[in-house]
Copies of this chain bind each other. A is one copy, B any other.
Amino acid sequence: MKKTTSCYKERMATFRQAAKEAGVKLTPQRLEIYRQVLASDNHPSADEIHTRIQRKLPMISLDTVYRTLWLLADLGLINTVNPREESIRFDAKLEEHHHFRCETCGKIIDFESAELTQLPLPPVLADFGQTLSVQIEVRGICIACQKTPSSKV
């Protein structure tokens, strides 16, 4: 059983607390959306949350779900599975390699590392399925953004 998503009551309390501190109102929609994300173990999309919630809140709109999910992310209560990508990006590099991603400007820099590519993977992976490749993403702040914090590349 998952540690985080199972201590439901604590996290609901944390939400109430964070909302108060941020001057954000507690509405039934927000409570139910957060509850539903906590109850999900499959990385749901906004649409999936919206569908699942309609049993309890039939009138809720999809845009409220989006607004709330981003609010929860801003409050640090949930994450997105991958960083937001405005569009599909292509790459001519075919060799197995890894990425450094700047969280400020979105720039992605390739790097290679034989040691990282041949990592000893945890045995639990065998239960999930067959492994084909391993990719490491290092996230941080690139040199350029450290100098000029608001720059966009």
Complex Cα gap A4–B87 (Å): 24
- Enumerate the 3 nearest inter-chain pairs by beta-carbon distance, A residue then B residue, closest first: A129-B142, A81-B89, A43-B89
CB contacts (< 8 Å) of A5 on chain B: these are 92-93
A130 interfacial contact with B, CB 8 Å: yes
Interface size counted on chain A using CB atoms at 8 A: 75
Residue of B nearest to A132 (CB): B140
A13 interfacial contact with B, CB 8 Å: no
Number of copies of this protein chain within its complex: 2
A116 interfacial contact with B, CB 8 Å: yes
CB contacts (< 8 Å) of A142 on chain B: these are 128-129
A95 interfacial contact with B, CB 8 Å: yes
CB contacts (< 8 Å) of A140 on chain B: these are 125, 128-133
Q: Is the CB of A119 within 8 A of B121?
A: no
Complex Cα gap A97–B94 (Å): 26
Q: Is the CB of A46 within 8 A of B82?
A: no
A38 interfacial contact with B, CB 8 Å: yes
